[in-house]
Structure 1
Amino acid sequence: MSQSVHILTFDIEDWFHVLEHRDTASEGDWCRFESRVERNTDRILECLDEANVRATFFCLGWIARTHPQVVKAISAAGHEIGSHSDRHLLVNQMTQRQFMDDLRTSIASLEDLTGHQVRAFRSPGFSISRQSIWAFSVLAENGVEWDSSVFASSHSHSREPALDITGPVTLEWRGMRLKQFPVVPGCVLGRRISFSGGGYFRLLPYGLIRHLMSKSDYAMTYFHPRDFDPDQPLIPNLPLHRVFRSYVGLKSALAKFRALLGHFHFIDISEANKLLDWDALPKLQLDGTSLSIPNGRKICLPA
């Protein structure tokens, strides 16, 4: 890359949208909790306005319907709106039909509200796995041009990334193209360390985050409104290890985020798409049953 590409993104969901937890598993459970998404999103928008930065906001379709003022405020501030699914379900626990219906509902809700085409998608929990790699073709078939559902390392919702990549690639299928913008860990002493969002950002010291960001020609950030809300309640019956992962570092996160905006130049996915030389980047071929990758191997796609 001729210049560093640091992308700023947010997943717009409420503080209780915790994956794989019985007390917050369904839409019926969510009405029991106070919503904090509007005040927390406003806090993010204020920071971005002060720094004169544009970002991509992956929003739930459910948020667009229940809190339309949140999505309208994001769009009115000039930020890009993408889909974060409709009801915050893990893709690797859905059928292809369920995923398609959820995706279409989210896109319709967001486009009807903003009047702008939804071109970007990120799955909840980066949950497009090797077993659900068919989701990429569903995205392309439904008009999505840019996806950021690959976390290029193991994480809590998938033991291995859907694609073994270390930067942006193009997926091609039946004449359609889907550009992939993964989250890529940094490297310290030969060890891969995630640093660019979520719990990792809150837990790591800022000096290390700044070091890893400065060493990255390409970096994809991912933040949530709850990441900057130290006063949020404790989610009932959350296991201790998840309490640690979800609540430690909340008090210092906003100051770290402001520092990050001051030290680096960030852009949204739309601008990154223009800057990247896609002809020079890898292309992966989907043929409906497998994914062909540059070293000649193929990954089978479940029927």
Structure 2
Amino acid sequence: MMSDNLNVLTFDIEEWFHLLDYDDTRTEDKWSNYEVRIHKNVDRILDILEESGAKASFFIIGWIAKKYPEIVKKISEKYHVGTHTMNHQLVWQQSKSEFEKDVEFGIKILEDIAGKPVNAFRAPGFSIRNSEAWAFDVLQKYGIKYDCSVFPSKHAHGGMPVEGVDRPFIVKTENGEIKEFPVSVKNVLGKRLIFSGGGYFRLCPYFLVRKWARQSAYNMSYIHPRDLDAGQPVLKGLSPVRRFKSYCGLSTAESKLRAFVKDFNFTDIPTADAKINWASASKISF
């Protein structure tokens, strides 16, 4: 049974070791020390989409594009491509000028490889908070039309737990507007629960994912290649809580995603954009 709700599917294309706020993999100079698993993990995603016919948007790290341009070419042949910054750093750990360079370089390398404009962005770790609202001005400056960085609940690396940001809305910047596709939430007993992306998707039983998605008019799902990689190594030195969050549900996530794309009619961001009545959407200035 297909759902007629607006279901948007996105993938953040990064390596299995690209955990945020973890010193051993924080910077590019350390990434070459780890096993390369991105090719087979991206192929797994593309196989799932090919079998289901689902559309999706892909937010790709510029470093991945620089190292493995063939991945970008393969994805961009059939799917919408956005940027996930150049070097996968938290926004609030950067100055405005550092963030601007990261965004500029990330867009340029993707456009050079894909041969088409890059108009969508997602911040690593959903790390645009109210205090980093200047980031939207930067994104608008570099031609970003769609942002998917708002996390409308508490989050270890960011979050905007304020009213009115749990459905598509318009962000007003100094020089224009950006259409925002936030992470979707389910309100349960007064709490905003995330269920359709990342570790939340891995942890949540599929019958609840399906039930809550069917009850929601808008669903934004986000998956990382590592979420589907049950055989990945375990990074050392993580706290018990961080280790649980990073590795829970890996063994069942692929089968859950395969069921998800069969049970729901997923689309990409540009297609979803055309289905939204933006004239009635909220306009927010942070």
- When normalised by structure 1's length, the TM-score is 0.90
Partner of 1:52: 53
Matches of 1:126 and 1:163 in 2, distance apart? 17
Matches of 2:240 and 2:173 in 1, distance apart? 43
Matches of 1:13 and 1:117 in 2, distance apart? 20
Partner of 2:74: 73
Give the gaps of 5 or more residues in structure 1. 286-290, 292-303
Partner of 1:277: 277
Contact 2:137 2:175 in 1 (8 A): no
Matches of 1:181 and 1:42 in 2, distance apart? 26
| Helix, strand or coil at the partner of 2:166 | coil
Q: Could you list the per-position Cα deviations for residues 110-167 of structure 1 after superposition, in whole angstroms to 9, with x for gaps in the alignment?
A: 0000001000000000000111110001100110000000011001112644885121
Partner of 2:135: 135
Distance 1:136 1:182, change over 3 A: same
Matches of 2:147 and 2:105 in 1, distance apart? 17
Partner of 2:262: 262
Q: Could you list the per-position Cα deviations for residues 188-235 of structure 1 after superposition, in whole angstroms to 9, with x for gaps in the alignment?
A: 344321101100101111001101100110111110000000000011
| Helix, strand or coil at the partner of 2:223 | coil
Partner of 1:116: 116
Partner of 1:184: 184
What is the number of equivalent residue pairs in this alignment? Answer: 283
Partner of 1:236: 236
Partner of 1:170: 170
- When normalised by structure 2's length, the TM-score is 0.96
After TM superposition, give the deviation of residue 96 of structure 1 in Å: 0.6
| Helix, strand or coil at the partner of 2:177 | strand
| Helix, strand or coil at the partner of 2:183 | coil
Matches of 2:98 and 2:39 in 1, distance apart? 28
| Helix, strand or coil at the partner of 1:8 | strand
Matches of 1:174 and 1:238 in 2, distance apart? 41
Partner of 1:98: 98
Contact 2:152 2:159 in 1 (8 A): no
After TM superposition, give the deviation of residue 187 of structure 1 in Å: 2.3
Distance 1:63 1:161, change over 3 A: farther
Query: Structure 2: which amino acid aligns with 1:269?
Result: I
Matches of 1:144 and 1:159 in 2, distance apart? 20
| Helix, strand or coil at the partner of 1:222 | strand
After TM superposition, give the deviation of residue 33 of structure 1 in Å: 0.1
After TM superposition, give the deviation of residue 99 of structure 1 in Å: 0.5
Matches of 2:62 and 2:265 in 1, distance apart? 29
Distance 1:63 1:51, change over 3 A: same
Query: Structure 2: which amino acid aligns with 1:105?
Result: F
Give the gaps of 5 or more residues in structure 2. none
Matches of 1:105 and 1:159 in 2, distance apart? 25
After TM superposition, give the deviation of residue 69 of structure 1 in Å: 1.4
Partner of 1:198: 198
| Helix, strand or coil at the partner of 1:187 | strand
Query: Structure 2: which amino acid aligns with 1:265?
Result: N
Query: Structure 2: which amino acid aligns with 1:151?
Result: F
After TM superposition, give the deviation of residue 41 of structure 1 in Å: 0.5
Contact 1:128 1:162 in 2 (8 A): no
Partner of 1:30: 31
Contact 2:126 2:159 in 1 (8 A): no
Distance 1:261 1:31, change over 3 A: same
Q: Could you list the per-position Cα deviations for residues 238-286 of structure 1 after superposition, in whole angstroms to 9, with x for gaps in the alignment?
A: 221111111111010000000001111000001011100000111124x
Distance 1:162 1:244, change over 3 A: same
Matches of 1:184 and 1:259 in 2, distance apart? 19
After TM superposition, give the deviation of residue 173 of structure 1 in Å: 2.9
Matches of 1:245 and 1:121 in 2, distance apart? 24
Query: Structure 2: which amino acid aligns with 1:136?
Result: F
Distance 1:162 1:85, change over 3 A: farther
